[in-house]
Structure formats: C-alpha cells, structure tokens
Amino acid sequence: MASKSTPQSKSPEYSAQHIQVLEGLEPVRKRPGMYIGSTDVTGLHESLREIIDNAVDEALAGYAKNVWTILNKNGSATVIDDGRGIPVDIMPAYKKSALEIVMTKLHAGGKFGGSAYKVSGGLHGVGASVVNALSEWVWVEVRRGSKLYRQEYSRGLTKGPVKEVAETKLETKVFDKKAPNGTTVTFYPDSQIFQTLEFDFEIVKKALRERAYLIPSIYFHLLDYRNETPKETHYFFEGGIKSLVEKINENKGPLHKTIFIKKMEGDVEVEVALQFNDGFAENVESYVNVINTINGGTHLTGFRMALTRAVNDYGKKIGSFKEEEDSIVGDDTREGLTAVVFIKMPQDRIQFEGQTKGKLGNSEIQPLTQQIVKEGLNTFFEENPSEARRILEKVYLAAKARLAAKAAKDAILRKGALEGSSLPGKLADCQEKKPELSELYLVEGDSAAGTAKSGRDRKFQAILPIGGKILNTERARLDKIIEHEELKNLIIALGMGIGETVNFEKLRYHRIIIMTDADVDGEHIETLLLTFIYRHLPEVIKQGFLYIAQPPLYKIAHGKDVKYAYSDDEKDNIIKEINSGKKNSFVINIQRYKGLGEMNADQLWETTMNPTNRILKQVAIDDAEEADATFTMLMGDEVPPRKHFIQSNAKTATLDI
C-alpha cells in the first residue's frame, strides 16, 4: 500500500538554483533523430517515455508515489506525477521562471546541477525540452504549495509567461484538485516531425510495466480515453526485479527460490535477481537507472564473471569439481538462467557506448558488480546448500552437453565444415558473395524447393530445402541440435556457427526467408524454424535479417487475365472488380493454393520471389519478454499453459478444412 505521508516534505529546497542550463534548443527540430532516435513510431513513443522518465526521476529520488499516463481523446498524451513540482520561481541569470527554462532550453534541468537528482532515469536528460520542441503544442501545470501554475508552448516557443490558475486544463481529472504537489505535462506530437501520431496502448503499457518492476515503490497508472470504452491498467510490484524474474520464469520449472542481491557502494547501487529453470534458454536483462541496456555492458560482464566464479568456487569447496578440467565456463551458466541486473548511479557519471545508449561503458562498474554479486552468491550458497547443489547440477549438465556438442561437431563434420568451408549438398547457393546482397530461402519440402530453384534469380537467391518437421529446439540441447541433419545443414549454410563458436560477422546472407505451405503443416515448420533462430541465433532477428515469404492464397483467372490474391479480402475485391466490369463474358476460375508445389517456377517467381512484386513479412522482437513466454508456452514441456491457450483461442481459429 502507498504511504499516506506526503513525500514532498523531504526536500523543501528544490528551487531555481538547482536548474543549470547548458545550451539552446535550436538543433532539435533540425535533427530530431539525434535526440529521440527516429521520427517513426519508435521515436514517437520515445518522446512519451522521456516525459514519463522525468516523473520517474521524482520517484527514484524518493519524492513521488504515483505516475499517471493518459492517452487523451484528441490524440495528445498526459503524464502526471505527485512529486515536488517543477520550480516556478525566477532564475536571476535568465530573468525567466525555472519552468520555462526547463521546457525551452536544451540540457536544462535538476539532473544536471548535481544536487536535485542523484539518480536519473532520462535517456538523454533532455526529455522535457526536446519533446516540447517536437510538439505542435504543450502545456505544463505545476502544483506547489497549494497553488496551481500553468505555461503553454508551441513547437518549443512559449505562448506566454507562467500564470497562477484556478482550475486544471485536464479534461479527465484523475485525482482531487487538492492533491499534493506535482507536475502535469500534456503534449501533442508535431505532424511536421513524426510519421505517425498515434500512441500504441501496448507499447506504452510495456514501458510502464518495465518501470514498475524496476521501481517497486511507485504506482503506475495507464488510462486510455481515445475510444468509447476507456481502457486502464495499473502496476505496482512490491517485489521489484525479483517479481520480474519470477514472471519470466512462469511455466518454466524454476529449480530454486529466486536469489536477490542488493548493495549500495558509494553512490552506486547494485541490484540483481536470478533464478535457474529446467529449460535450456537464457533470459538476462540489464538496466542502468530505468534505461534498458539491450546490448549489456560492464555491469552485465561483472555479473557473469561473478556467477561463473561463485559456482566454480562452491563446486570445488564441496568436492563436485575435483580437477581443473571439471571447472565450468561462462557459457555453462547460461543454460536455463533468468536474471535481471539493475544498476542505479548518478546520471552525470554514466558512460554509454554508441549513441543508442544500449551498452554501459563505465569500467569501474564491472569490478564493483562482480564483487557485490560474488559476495551475495557466496552467502546464498552457504545458507541454502540444497538449492546450491541443484544449481551446480544444472551447470554441470550444461558443461557435459557443451563437451558432447564439441565431440559431436568434430565427429559429424569434417575440419571447419560447421564454419562454412564445406557447404551442404542440398544447398543451391547463389553466385553473389556479398552477404548484404544475398538471400537464402528456407523452403518446405524437396518438391517446392525444386520449383524455387528453377524459378529463382541465381545471382543473389540461394535455396535450402527443409525436409519435414524439424527438431523442436525449445526442448533440445546443443549436441542434439547439431546432430539433426536439417538443422546442421542450415547452420553450415548460414556460416556464422552456433553456441560458443557463433560469429555474426560470418553470416552469409542478410535476407533469410522462410517459405512454407499455407497450411497447418507449413505453419508448424515455420514455428519450429522461428524457435530455433530465436533461441540460438537471435542476432539474425535483432538485425532485421529474418523474413517470412507470403505466397498467394488464390489464383483468379478471367479469360486471359490472371490475378493473384494474398488474402480472402483481396480475393473478394478482385472478384467484385471483375463483376463490375463491362466485359464479363468469361467464367471466373478460382484456384486455392494449398502448397508451393502447385505453382510452376514462373508463377512462384512472379508471386513470391520477385523483389518487384513479392510480399515479405519481416520478423521482429517488439517485446522480448512476451516473445520468450510465448515460445515457452507453445513449444515447452508444460502442457497446462498450452491447453489453456488453445481453449481460450479456439473460437478465433480459422479452420482450413
């Protein structure tokens, strides 16, 4: 439950003197991508996240208990917090209010002065002013000392001074007007900047859920009033990242209770939660403040080193690892590992590698994280010997599988074959050697593959037949995977290796296209291939190199005129168009394609492989947590979750009878 005390009382000295200005706002509208990454749907939601994270900063500092995010009927978005409220007093150096400076000057805010925010979540620390610059209009209301102040803006420029007002402009009042101090920001994205102006409820919900796990002391409220029936979601996780790990491991057979480690060292706080399950996939997330470091960094490296060393030390201590060669390596601890590594540190000390802020670069964080995690694991192992032994058994089995996989690889393949020096006989390779110009079709069945080989453009299109149902890699170790003929051929054809030998730079094709029949069997094979690539070669998906071909469902012939339809709606529209024409003397012949083999080479090229005409569906991971849970549910060992999914979705299934 939330405390009834007013958190604002902790710091009565948050005022204009805490605001520091570094530079003006002019560059933002000229190069918006430099500040929010892009101007597409991703950049649009990054703008909202920046405002949300300003509110989250108040919670990280201990002054707010709630953050409300509202998607308004008119397309604007509102973010409200019950923190201290942005200062409205005058900054003598600028003869303007602190609120106006924060909203109209780049790199102006409490997180730069060094005293108002020790820890900050903003991605760039420029959220308010950047979003203001990229919005058609913005208004901000500040509640301080039982008074309500407002200022309005247009494309980064003020429309007037800060004024004390009697009532809020907010259409939907989420709390009483006598509520404690805080800030309300409402903005309408600029159509001159963004390609789309529509916020996605699910994307916003995911961002809030992620932050709710990271900051267990705050309530997040999402309200969507854009439709006749309002939607709302509320998040509060008392367990923090411990709850997140347990959520990810749902239905995965956890082997022990969640290990939770938390320690403050100077001005850096390290927080780690981890739990092994009886599966084979790894799921590790890392954060700095509320920034998701998707490419890891020094904090993640420190965590991995500590885990490997702690397991080895304990194994030797109790006699499980007698010889040096019995020791496990880092990769052995990844099998079935679910973990979250969360660092909180002063914003002005964070060093990121690359402009996307996806990788932490602070060298001092690695030994600090390693020390804290190692100490925490040592304590857990000593206090929980039976659970420690289960972890040892898990990583020891992984080590045996690693050695078995190496032996299998050496036995099955001639020297260097897995790395691509000896391509599989089934592969009809392309003439092009540049990966960025080459594409590989994974085609269901030898018959369809033969048609594809005849119809392809040999210069840049390679064909690899996939014969029948392949191995379900959700339930298989690496040694079994590389023994499986179809998967072995695929690994060799791709050229990037697998497991500890993987090297993404050796990938031979930058378009990998799954092409299966439009029936249940085809969809099953497609799912098995997706499972393999997602679990063992995820970088292929992350880099945007995986696609699914969209062969037509119907051939519609009317006299000499032939058209192809890729959906039932498209078929109906084509028939309607023919029937509405003046010349209608020919019978309409409709052929439903059940498989790729029903098309000849020319038809397959024209409809499905010709870059000019074809439709490809790119595979992306918008929500890694949800994708992981879906693969576990559909392809894992636990039957009840899959049964529940089938029962819940049976009515929406399209039966191809």
Give me the catalytic one of 269, 521, 623, 638.
Answer: 521
- Rg of the chain, C-alpha, whole Å: 29
Q: Is 521 a catalytic residue?
A: yes
Can you read off the two tokens belonging to residue 457?
């453009």
Cα separation of 631 and 283, whole Å? Answer: 12
Cα separation of 543 and 505, whole Å? Answer: 12
CB atoms closer than 10 angstroms to residue 545: 24
Q: Is 517 a catalytic residue?
A: yes
Q: Is 519 a catalytic residue?
A: yes
Give me the catalytic one of 439, 444, 474, 526.
Answer: 444
Can you read off the two tokens belonging to residue 613?
């005409």
Give me the catalytic one of 348, 519, 568, 656.
Answer: 519
CB atoms closer than 10 angstroms to residue 30: 8
Which residues make beta-bridge pairs with 276? 337
Give me the catalytic one of 100, 486, 517, 628.
Answer: 517
Buried b (16+ CB within 10 A) or exposed e, 148-158: bbbbbbebbeb
The per-type count for the chain, helices as H runs and strands as E runs, is 20, 26
Buried b (16+ CB within 10 A) or exposed e, 408-428: bbeeebeeebbbbeebbebbb
Can you read off the two tokens belonging to residue 520?
């249940």
Cα separation of 522 and 516, whole Å? Answer: 5
CA separation (Å) from 535 to 7, 238, 394, 527, 566? 45, 31, 18, 12, 30
Q: Would you state the torsion angle of the CA atoms of residues 517, 521, 522, 525, taken in this order, to the nearest 10 degrees?
A: -150
* CA angle (338 as vertex; 249, 314 as ends), nearest 5: 120
Cα separation of 77 and 74, whole Å? Answer: 9
Cα separation of 523 and 638, whole Å? Answer: 21
For residue 232, report the phi and psi dihedrals to the nearest 5 degrees: -150, 150
For residue 68, report the phi and psi dihedrals to the nearest 5 degrees: -105, 135
**Phi/psi-derived region of residue 495, left when phi > 0, alpha when psi is between -120 and 50, beta in every other case:** left
Sequence letter at residue 362: N
Nearest to 271 by CA among 281, 260, 262, 280: 262
Cα separation of 184 and 55, whole Å? Answer: 9
Q: Is 13 a catalytic residue?
A: no
Can you read off the two tokens belonging to residue 213?
């796990």
SS3 464: strand
Active site residues: 444, 517, 519, 521
